[in-house]
Amino acid sequence: MNNTEEHEVIVIGAGFAGLYAVYLLRKSGFDVIALERGSGVGGTWYWNRYPGARCDVESLQYSYSFDKDLEQDWEWSERYAGQPEILEYAEHVAHRFDLETHIQFDTTVEQLDFNEATSNWTVKTSGGTYRAQFVIAATGCLSTANHPRFAGIDEFKGSLYHTGKWPHEGVDFTGQRVGIIGTGSSAVQSIPVIAEQAAHLTVFQRTPNYSIPAHNEPLDPAVQADVKANYEQLRVAARTERSGIISAFPVNEDSAKAASDLEFQDRMNERWDYGGFSFYRAYADIVIDQESNERVAHYVRNRIAEVVDDPAVADLLSPSNTIACKRPCLDTRYYETFNLDHVDLVDIADDGIERISERGVVAGGIEYEFDAIVFATGFDAMTGTLLGMNITGRDGLRLETAWEAGPRTYLGLSVPCFPNLFTVTGPGSPSVLTNMIMAIEQHVEWIRDCLVDLRNQGHRSIEATDDAADSWVEHVNAIADQTLYPSCNSWYLGANIPGKARVFMPLIGFPPYAEKCEQVATDGYSGFALT
């Protein structure tokens, strides 16, 4: 055991959550280290380097609020920041606050075991063994790539890529025949950019997705200055929004189905032309009422038909499912790309990909030949990375056993039988339905306050109770069931991974959630057992 490194707190991951956890805990006097499997900071933005990768939350909102000087000093160049700029921002933060000295890079966590006698965790990694009283899994919600093992995949003689594990040196597709599997956000962002280079691009679509224009553009310096002058108010106001994101349009309680044709058309046109997710806030009942939802979906289908020249292709690109119940996409010239002569759309809705061959992809009995295949097939979202770390809690209980029927947490922060282990933006918290950086700040601050309270009160351990977790899971599902969210095969539900338990994982609504967390702490950590 001589070569076991001891710390008070181990943070897993050095994305935005891990960086902030290291910053705050060090500031509160904890001996903290972060373990990061990548060679650098940035998490999602370290791995997802595919062409066109961009945040779908506007840059002035998708940023830390904890340091006023940082907020003022950092200049964003575009309305929605691209991956390189966000990564640069994460690196700047790590450097500015001297966080790298507390991060062990190139270190993959392989196993976590709770020691009941000492109330601490043993953390086995690719680079040695660590021990700590507390572990904070800042492992991200979309950090384990979904790489379907199609038959024959090892036979392909060309190059294979996954958008979520993109080569750091980039890929030059010039002159190549490229196939891309998937039409989620990563594909919607990368298809127009890959099409600019490739000699030929074939898109394999299982389910069409609704996408609306981002209308990305260089950020007007006057807009940036104005936001910076009012940052405090903006951040406070954001935390009162369901998604933690301020819309350019005032919140309303209107119903889409009740609107007159003229009013509906005007309002949707205005939002379409403005771009971004405020489109989905045009009416209050879009994700609640099926008729209202269908009216908006119909509007988007009409827009697709206007843009795409070939009616058969437009039809294939038009989704029929509930709009916004899968994560909606924002794009830059996505639908327009299908008007290019060298871009084809292949419908695989019925039979999927048959197999990968030496030369390409076989679907519908046809072999499509490629130099490169891009998997834009998404992630084992929200639980994949946690379950991949071989976590064993109290009484020898393994996390995959505890979560056999789906993730079961209290507040998305803690799991019964896994004491002193915190999850940042875990399943059961608003996480992916909000501005992630805001959700991260709220979680990390709560965890920091909790650890300080435990230290001050002389407690060694904190553990969510079974009752608290049961009622929490019930609460998360009850809220989701009041909406249309559970009605599609989305990754929110785990439905994108064969065999994964179907449970609606994120909690809808940030403000009541944040209030609940605060109340729990004020009540002396109700729903937790402290020893």
Span from 166-174, 309-317, 359-367, 370-378 in contact with ligand NA7 (CB under 6 A): 370-378
In angstroms, what is the minimal distance from the CB of 378 to ligand NA7? Answer: 3
Please state, in angstroms and rounded to a whole number, the distance separating the CA atoms of residues 354 and 78: 41
Span from 13-21, 61-69, 176-184, 499-507 in contact with ligand NA7 (CB under 6 A): 176-184
Is residue 276 a contact residue for ligand NA7 (CB under 6 A)? no
Number of residues that bind ligand NA7 (CB under 6 A): 21
Is residue 352 a contact residue for ligand NA7 (CB under 6 A)? yes
Is residue 142 a contact residue for ligand NA7 (CB under 6 A)? yes
The two structure tokens encoding residue 66: 């904890």
Is residue 364 a contact residue for ligand NA7 (CB under 6 A)? no
Please state, in angstroms and rounded to a whole number, the distance separating the CA atoms of residues 44 and 41: 9
In angstroms, what is the minimal distance from the CB of 377 to ligand NA7? Answer: 4
- Of residues 197 and 207, the one with the C-beta less far from ligand NA7: 207
Residues 92-131 that bind ligand NA7 (CB under 6 A): none
- Of residues 125 and 322, the one with the C-beta less far from ligand NA7: 322
Span from 59-67, 182-190, 356-364, 476-484 in contact with ligand NA7 (CB under 6 A): 182-190
Q: Which of 13, 182, 319, 419 binds ligand NA7 (CB under 6 A)?
A: 182
DSSP-based three-state secondary structure for 456 = helix
**Residue that has been written with the tokens 């001891």 in this structure:** 6
Is residue 376 a contact residue for ligand NA7 (CB under 6 A)? yes
DSSP string computed for 258-280:
TS-HHHHHHHHHHHHHH-SGGGG
The rounded radius of gyration (Å) of the Cα atoms in the chain is 23
Please state, in angstroms and rounded to a whole number, the distance separating the CA atoms of residues 274 and 214: 8
Residues 314-333 that bind ligand NA7 (CB under 6 A): 327
Span from 129-137, 273-281, 376-384, 443-451 in contact with ligand NA7 (CB under 6 A): 376-384
> Closest Cα to residue 407, out of 388, 427, 422, 390?
427
Is residue 184 a contact residue for ligand NA7 (CB under 6 A)? yes
**The residue count for the chain:** 531
Q: Which of 187, 201, 286, 469 binds ligand NA7 (CB under 6 A)?
A: 187
Q: Which residue is nearest to ligand NA7 (CB)?
A: 184
Q: Which of 183, 385, 420, 483 binds ligand NA7 (CB under 6 A)?
A: 183
In angstroms, what is the minimal distance from the CB of 198 to ligand NA7? Answer: 19
In angstroms, what is the minimal distance from the CB of 261 to ligand NA7? Answer: 31
Span from 106-114, 268-276, 280-288, 372-380 in contact with ligand NA7 (CB under 6 A): 372-380
Q: Which of 30, 280, 485, 491 binds ligand NA7 (CB under 6 A)?
A: 491
- Of residues 186 and 332, the one with the C-beta less far from ligand NA7: 186
Contacts 24+ apart (CB under 8 A), 268-273: 268/296, 268/299, 272/212, 272/213, 272/303, 273/215
- Of residues 30 and 277, the one with the C-beta less far from ligand NA7: 277
In angstroms, what is the minimal distance from the CB of 327 to ligand NA7? Answer: 3
Q: Which of 133, 185, 383, 425 binds ligand NA7 (CB under 6 A)?
A: 185
Distances (CA, A) of 440 to 137, 184, 328: 12, 24, 21
Name the residue type at position 194: I
Is residue 143 a contact residue for ligand NA7 (CB under 6 A)? no
Please state, in angstroms and rounded to a whole number, the distance separating the CA atoms of residues 244 and 118: 39
- Of residues 122 and 189, the one with the C-beta less far from ligand NA7: 189
Q: Which of 104, 108, 159, 207 binds ligand NA7 (CB under 6 A)?
A: 207
In angstroms, what is the minimal distance from the CB of 352 to ligand NA7? Answer: 5
Please state, in angstroms and rounded to a whole number, the distance separating the CA atoms of residues 529 and 461: 8
In angstroms, what is the minimal distance from the CB of 345 to ligand NA7? Answer: 12
Distances (CA, A) of 69 to 166, 222, 328: 33, 19, 33
CB 377 within 8 A of CB 205: no
CB 178 within 8 A of CB 372: yes
Please state, in angstroms and rounded to a whole number, the distance separating the CA atoms of residues 32 and 101: 11
Please state, in angstroms and rounded to a whole number, the distance separating the CA atoms of residues 369 and 239: 50
Tell me which H or E stretch contains 188: helix 185-197
Is residue 163 a contact residue for ligand NA7 (CB under 6 A)? yes
Q: Which of 62, 496, 513, 514 binds ligand NA7 (CB under 6 A)?
A: 496
3-state secondary structure 192-214: HHHHHHCCEEEEEECCCCCEEEC
Q: Which of 377, 383, 423, 429 binds ligand NA7 (CB under 6 A)?
A: 377
Sorted by sequence, the CB contacts under 8 Å of residue 178 that are 6+ apart come out as 194, 198, 200, 201, 202, 370, 371, 372, 373, 374
Q: What share of the chain is helix, strand, coil (3-state, %, to 5)?
A: 35, 20, 45
Which residues of this chain interact with ligand NA7, rule CB under 6 A? 142, 148, 163, 181-187, 206-207, 327, 352-353, 376-379, 491, 496
